[in-house]
Chain A
Amino acid sequence: MEKKLGIYICTGCSIGDALDIEKLTALAGTQGAAVVKTHEFLCGDEGAKVIENDISAEGINTVVIAACSQRVNFDVFNFPDTIIERVNLREHVAWSHTPNDEDTQMLAEDYLRMGVAKAKRMELPEPHIEEDISRTVLVIGGGISGLTAALEVAKTGYDAVLVEKEAELGGFMNKMYKVVPRRYPFAKLEEPSIGAVISEVTGDPNIKVYTSSQVEKVAGQPGKFVVTIASPQGAVETTAGAVIMASGWKPYDANKLDKYGFGQFPNVITNVMMEEMAKNGPITRPSDGAPAKSVAFIQCAGQRDEEHLPYCSSVCCLGSLKQATYVREKDANAKAYIFYKDMRTPGQYELFYKSAQDDEGIFLTKGNVTSVGEGDGNSLIVEVEDTLLGEPVKVSVDLLVLATGMVPTTVDDPVLNLAYRQGPGLPDLELYNGFADSNFICFPYESRRTGVFPTGAVKMPLSGAESIEDATGAALKAIQVIEAVSVGKAVHPRSGDSTYPDFFLQRCTQCKRCTEECPFGTLDEDEKGTPLPNPNRCRRCGICLGACPERIINFKNYSIDILASAIKAINVPEEEENKPRVIAFVCENDAYPAFDMAGINRLQYSPNVRMIPVRCLGAVNTVWIADSLAAGIDGIMMIGCKYGDDYQCHYAKGSELANYRMEKVQETLNRLVLESDRVKILQLAIDDYDKLPSIIDEYMEQLDGFGPNPYKGF
């Protein structure tokens, strides 16, 4: 595309009052633009029309808009098939620096040159579209979550393939005698509806069910997964556009709970055993088959216990209240005792708790069970301390039920069996006690494998009703990724982005950094170690671009060259002028908005810092650091998101990788006898904008101590 550049400078919102616009316009005139215009209200109807007219009448196809932040007026400055670069003269210049000051003017001029340099090298993205996108969703697991997901997918007009390892569908729901009330007034137990759900699934022509089967391999990428299923009929190969992982949970191994007599006394059973017993008939003592006239429940049998399961299993309180109701329903003279740490019946389940409290045959008390021993005639003696009654109590019961917790299937099984270079399962699940959970509160369907959506109890301990809700959402996400890749667009967090990384493989040295560092496992490798891109797995974060020492990974609108030219466009004053220059690479998702907020609050900071927004701090290539230092830049700040266990990086690993890479850079600086702290990496949350002035001032002070970059002028 032959570029025809237009530069538009807005003078509104104090920009015109803070800057010498004539001088700025003169500078714009030297930038090779076909058109340079100023306007006092560029985002108004008339201003936007000026640009629109130039696009249609003058053939302008590359537009630099020097006005406000790219985060506002996005709808006004949106011209189709046009390269657009926004230069932020408002929040980042006029509103945060001294008006009509030489340094403020220099800042604006640098930003303008940088914007033009980028625009000249940017190209319009061309989406990468794979052919034959599959509109089938693979669902792993045939419990309530998997069944719901498959049905919801089918109801929306897509196909589902459901793989269940057991011979029967239904999972744990199949074992249920009754279920906790799901609907107002939450007082009476409900009959399980799992049978009806199973019939609906098996009767749906758009759902193919494999029982006694397992997913042996998932290869490929969203829209084009190739799935191998080990079925009783042998290996079956099928394609899928997305994967819903609903492999559920297993009960915690009660044999580890010998402190409660499990394995020692036959009348100590688990809540899962209790459910089966209630389903099959009366509640009796396993030791002699005699009716159980008194039943005790121990809550948190293993849960909330660092030696067993550190987490709470969320549903065991409800489960024991339900099973206490069985005891009472089946024998009006029987008694139930529930010993709990905290009774956890959140939300409207409180109403069910209330109805159990109203039953005089159900005794509920907080307490710690200290011992379980045998009493007369097969009875059990349960000793409890710290009760609400004030003193320790001893209760003799016929049956003791341990409310054991949920363990996700992912704790010892990758489940997905991905044929990915980075391994068969989801990474870093130890952060979530082995659950396949999302790291993000606001984005609970996020996983580190694009197009793969964990749901239900494999993700977190939850009830049947919550599983249904969760699975319905997972079905939407599965469909959404299929629709996105079918038009070559990215999914969250860069939803709708149609750029993707190009690999110039002729120059690849097989160092494998990109294939190892991609947080989403996008890249596979051939036998020599050359990356094999899978564009539909890619989230377009640019972390591979940041990783590549050969600089052969680039996007059409975000490349080594584009940002390097922006760096080189900065006018570095001579040493004698005593005007240090700092480049700040800022995460566009959090740090950039924080700088906008600083501007909105008219917070003032040093005009010697030039900001370069980046897709992620992980998308900063170290060559840019070298370029900056070679250009005489005195210091480099890298401002990104928090990393560590509670990371806030939207690409999971970006800020952590940036930190790691910068440590290497700092080592190099030391070797070059340059102060390593000239490169400063910082973690900043979006709402930390009020801290920005002091962060920058402190850094500038530190830099002042180092003196100018000795390579300045070389």
Chain B
Amino acid sequence: MSEEKNLGSILVVGGGITGLTTAIEAAEVGYDVYLVEKNPYLGGRVAQLNKYFPKLCPPACGLEINFQRIRKNPKVKYLTMAEVESVSGQPGDYDVTVKVKARKVNENCTACNACVEACPVDRLNDFNFGMDSTKAVYLPHQMAFPMRYVIDEKACKGSSCAKCVEACKYDAIDLEMEADTVNLKVGSVVWATGWQPYDASQIDTLGYGKVPNVVTNMMMERLAAGNGPTGGQIQRPSDGKVPETIAFVQCAGSRDENHLAYCSYICCMASLKQATYILEQNPEAKVYIYYIDLRTPGRYEKFLKTIEANENVVMIKGKVANITADPESGDPVVVAEDILGGGLVRQKVDMVVLATGMQPSTAEKKAPLDFKYDEHGLILEDPQAVGVYATGCAKNPVDVTSGVKDATGAALKAIQTMVRR
């Protein structure tokens, strides 16, 4: 707030809702913040969500406010397509090396779209989990912040093509742009690298990747989103059919010692929410939710009650044993034990949604810091630690509200490092 004072700088790694919050909250106390994000846009996982539970409001609404806060506050400096390579030093005085990938589109980009119209190459759209494609030069998604295009280095044919360069009136495309290294000096570090969906193909029995029309809950978010691959019409991937019967498989990988031993916190609420997506588009659809326990803590209970009251939603307590393709129709067939009703259930449905859990991003790539981890890669934070902190889903699977609260606390911890009383 008080621009004159130089209170010290904070590095926040991860530009999802958690990292964004830490960065903005600290900046609004008066600290300089560097926000480092590996994607070409800020917003992280929540930018891929269609709605938040339980209000069923669009995540873009809160992101817009947070981006406005960044626009108005020069204390937040952000780097996209950037990853922290090393951190050295001590609390109050860290040297950080950040590797910034070549976006190949510079700040001259006005987001006019002329390059896309010229580009002859398609690539799978990772934002939509490969369910559609974009050109090799693309806007990461329609509400992307920053509103700047990017070139997929792997897909782009480079200077041999250069049609986009010709098309751009603003010299915004630089195919020769190379990766850059940025050195930062900061007083404290907050690690907020969040989560990735657990790889459903690891769960052999559930048929993902083998049985057609078995999708993950994150794919369902994109299928339901107006800016998703189907323009928000929920259709099954194999043939575009509007599904009449949908099974949700809870704890797909979570609460399972062969996969993620912990509960991923959000998946029960996420499936209940997705049931509303389906029923809003097709009130006659039948939704079956296979669960172990329905976990809707606190006031989320009200949401559970609302969904339970819909006669087209059937809850079945039982763990799904396997999913196979019906030999004739190819439709997925779910086999589960019905614990309360007794006996095995065998059910053919149009589409299956696996409520896959949250795996910390640090499962794949550890932070260049002295964190300890559990066997799943969750950061085990030392409560006595000074200078370096972890927040959000990097240390515990949580919902958005809990993540934001923790992120706000992490901003305070980062500030305290620089306040020597």
Give the interface of A toward B (CB within 8 A): 12-14, 40-41, 43-44, 68, 71-72, 74-75, 152, 155-157, 183-185, 206, 303-304, 310-314, 342-351, 354, 366, 386, 388, 390, 432-433, 435, 437-438, 440-445, 460-462, 466, 469-477, 479-480, 483-484, 486-487, 489, 491-493, 495-497, 589-590, 593, 597, 600-601, 641-642, 646, 648, 650, 685-690
Contacts and interface: CB of A to CB of B under 8 A. Distances in A.
B226 A310 contact: no
Given A311-B299, A435-B299, A347 B404 contact: no
B154 interface: no
A495 B69 contact: yes
A64 to B, nearest CB: 19
5 contacts: A71-B71, A155-B421, A442-B400, A466-B402, A473-B408
B359 interface: no
A479 B25 CA distance: 10
A128 to B, nearest CB: 14
Contacts of B327: none
Given A346-B297, A480-B28, 4 more contacts: A152-B416, A342-B295, A351-B261, A354-B261
B45 to A, nearest CB: 13
Contacts of A487: 1-2
Nearest to A437: B299
Nearest to B399: A441
B258 interface: no
Contacts of B232: 690
A477 to B, nearest CB: 7
A12 B263 contact: no
A44 B170 contact: yes
B347 to A, nearest CB: 21
B403 to A, nearest CB: 9
A351 B255 CA distance: 9
A530 to B, nearest CB: 31
Given A155-B421, A347-B398, A593-B64, A442 B342 contact: no
B169 A495 contact: no
B72 A310 contact: no
A157 B73 contact: no
B28 A473 contact: no
Given A343-B293, A347-B396, A597-B142, A390 B342 contact: yes
A648 B263 contact: no
Contacts of B407: 473
A312 B54 CA distance: 14
Given A344-B295, A444-B404, A473-B409, A496 B73 contact: yes
Nearest to B144: A600
B415 A441 contact: no
A432 B300 CA distance: 11
Contact of B2 (A438, A477, A486, A590): A486
Contacts of A690: 226, 231-232
Contacts of B72: 74, 495-497
A321 to B, nearest CB: 13
Contacts of B26: 476
Contacts of B299: 311-312, 432-433, 435, 437, 460
Contacts of A344: 293, 295, 297
A495 B73 contact: yes
B298 interface: yes
Contact of B1 (A390, A483, A648): A483
B296 A312 contact: yes
Contacts of A183: 380
B137 to A, nearest CB: 16
B293 A589 contact: no
A157 B419 contact: yes
Interface stretch (B108-116, B183-191, B209-217): B108-116
Interface stretch (B55-63, B88-96, B280-288): B55-63
Contacts of A461: 297-298
Contacts of A390: 342
Contact of A469 (B74, B227, B397, B406): B406
Given A14-B112, A44-B108, A184-B374, A472 B262 contact: no
A43 B2 CA distance: 28
B1 A475 contact: no
Given A435-B299, A469-B405, A346 B265 contact: yes
B297 A600 contact: no
A155 B417 CA distance: 10
User: B65, B265, B305, B407 — which one has the most chain A CB atoms within 10 A of its CB?
Assistant: B65
B421 A473 contact: no
User: B71, B255, B380 — which one has the most chain A CB atoms within 10 A of its CB?
Assistant: B71
Contacts of A480: 25, 28-29
A54 B273 CA distance: 54
B110 A68 contact: yes
B262 A348 contact: yes
Given A483-B1, A593-B64, A476 B409 contact: yes
User: B55, B226, B299 — which one has the most chain A CB atoms within 10 A of its CB?
Assistant: B299
A648 B61 contact: yes
Contacts of B404: 442-444
B30 A483 contact: yes
A461 B301 CA distance: 12
Nearest to A42: B110
A494 to B, nearest CB: 8
A376 B419 CA distance: 65
B378 interface: yes
List 9 tightest A-B contacts by C-beta distance, closest first.
A442-B62, A472-B409, A473-B408, A476-B412, A342-B293, A687-B58, A314-B297, A350-B263, A473-B409
B411 interface: yes
A441 B64 contact: no
Contact of A304 (B59, B301, B340): B301
A495 B24 CA distance: 10
Contact of A350 (B111, B112, B261, B342): B261
B312 interface: no
Given A460-B299, A597-B143, A646-B56, A12 B64 contact: no
Contacts of B262: 347-348, 350-351
Nearest to B58: A687
Interface in B73-107: 73-74
A642 B51 CA distance: 14
A430 B27 CA distance: 34
A161 B342 CA distance: 59
A492 B405 CA distance: 15
B357 to A, nearest CB: 10
Contacts of A470: 405, 409
Nearest to A304: B301
B265 A476 contact: no
A688 B30 CA distance: 35
A442 B66 contact: yes
Interface string B23-52: 001101110000000000000000000101
Contacts of A388: 339-340
A379 to B, nearest CB: 29
Contacts of A314: 297-298
Nearest to B148: A72
Contact of A642 (B57, B402, B406, B409): B57
B301 A312 contact: yes
B300 A156 contact: no
B110 to A, nearest CB: 5
A12 B405 CA distance: 43
B6 interface: no
Given A41-B169, A346-B295, A590 B261 contact: no
B294 interface: yes
Nearest to A466: B402
